[in-house]
Amino acid sequence: MNLKFNDHLLPVLPAMDNLPLDRIIGITSTVPIEIVFAAGFIPLDLNNLFIGDALSYKMVEDAESSGLPRNTCAWIKGMYSATRKYHIQRIISVIQGDCSNNEALMEIFQSEGIKTIPFAYPHDKADTGFLHDQLMMLADNLRVPYSKAEEMKKHLDAIREKVHKIDELTWKEDRVTGEENHIWTVSTSDLMGDYTTFNERAIRFLKLARGREPVRYDLRIGVIGIPPICEDLYPFLSTIGAHVVFNEIQRQFSMPYHTKTLVEQYSQYTYPYDILSRMEDIQQEIKQRNIRGLIHYVQSFCHRHIHDKIIRKHIRLPILTLDCDRPGPGRMKTRIEAFIEMLKYHEPKTPVISG
């Protein structure tokens, strides 16, 4: 089984033909969608539009044909093609806290007449004053009172809570597969542009998952790093007895911590900040979820690959680093199989984690 958005009871991508183009705001990474929804716009994560497309592989080639370098990350190329395919006219672009490729992509959009709205995370997550100013600027830009965005946070918190329950059903009760967990958590970046539909589907999925038999598996693993672009990783892991009970960055998109304000929420969200902030979360979840080994997914041509050295220094669980270039079947099955076999015969110990 290889799930995609829109499959049975999973989050659904909007029918683009029915959406008012002037209300759509594309996003290149997780941004405060509370402000976007409160202002009456429809946030759509360009990554989801790209990877959810039946022709995502071709979208990468199309971007290359139109001049994007082959040695640029495929997420960037996919976002570029998704923007062109759906004629998106306005985009919020993260200019600090994501990557320089994204900054260059914003310049391409600008050169092609697309309106771009910059948003920056602070360099230091403790700089809440900077973050507050950025949130206010975004609210001003979209002409919505900031208090309305805080109200929207309460509403979206109740919806995200359902995804946290789906996550719990993955690692506490084994009733949700790693792939379903990946799809639900990754799609919280934009709630698929329609939080009401997302909420309804999450309720239905929870009911279904609670009533079914637990997943059978031999061992529990985690996938850390950015969401994998290759399409067969999770189904393949299931077939060889590995249950993915932790999807690190995707879980971060779901805003997993209890917070009272937007500033608190977006300063606890680990993705835009230094790797050591991420390590704390990873270490805690390894212990809590009883994980035997990690796959560190790195995207070809992404600077985040460099973090692998730090991750290996701090976490002394077996780690397999995998990289993949573009959508489609990955070419790493032999390595994954060897890793999982090794874990099966590796004496499970309390993970040694250094601080």
| Residues 6 or more apart in contact with residue 250 via CB below 8 angstroms | 181, 182, 185, 186, 227
Per CB under 6 A, the list member of 75, 119, 198, 217 interacting with ligand SF4 is 75
> What is each CA distance from 336 to 52, 288, 291, 331, 342, in whole angstroms?
24, 24, 16, 10, 10
Contact region with ligand SF4 (CB under 6 A), list: 95-103, 182-190, 206-214, 255-263: 95-103
Task: Answer yes or no: are the C-beta atoms of 298 and 275 closer than 8 Å.
Answer: no
304 binds ligand SF4 (CB under 6 A): yes
Residue with tokens 């212990």: 287
- Within residues 197-236, the interface with ligand SF4 by CB under 6 A covers 226
CB 138 within 8 A of CB 92: yes
CB of 67 to ligand SF4, least distance (A): 18
Report the distance separating Cα 308 and Cα 297, nearest Å. Answer: 9
Choose the stretch contacting ligand SF4; rule: CB under 6 A; options: 61-69, 198-206, 241-249, 297-305.
297-305
Contact 277, 125 (CB under 8 A): yes
Place of tokens 């985040």: 304
Asked if 102 touches ligand SF4 (CB under 6 A), the answer is yes
Which one, 303 or 313, has the nearer CB to ligand SF4? Answer: 303
Q: Does 98 bind ligand SF4 (CB under 6 A)?
A: yes
Cβ at position 46, least distance to ligand SF4 in Å: 10
Instruction: Tell which one of 269, 294, 299, 317 touches ligand SF4 (CB under 6 A).
Output: 299
Residue 46 interacts with ligand SF4 (CB under 6 A)?
A: no
- The whole-angstrom distance between residue 85's C-alpha and the CA centroid of its chain comes to 22
Task: Check residue 192 and report its DSSP letter.
Answer: G
**Please, which residue, 102 or 199, has the CB nearer to ligand SF4?**
102
Note whether 302 binds ligand SF4 by CB under 6 A. Answer: yes
When asked if residue 92 is in the footprint of ligand SF4 (CB under 6 A), the reply is no
The residues that touch ligand SF4, with contacts defined as CB under 6 A, are 73, 75-76, 98-99, 101-102, 226, 299, 302, 304
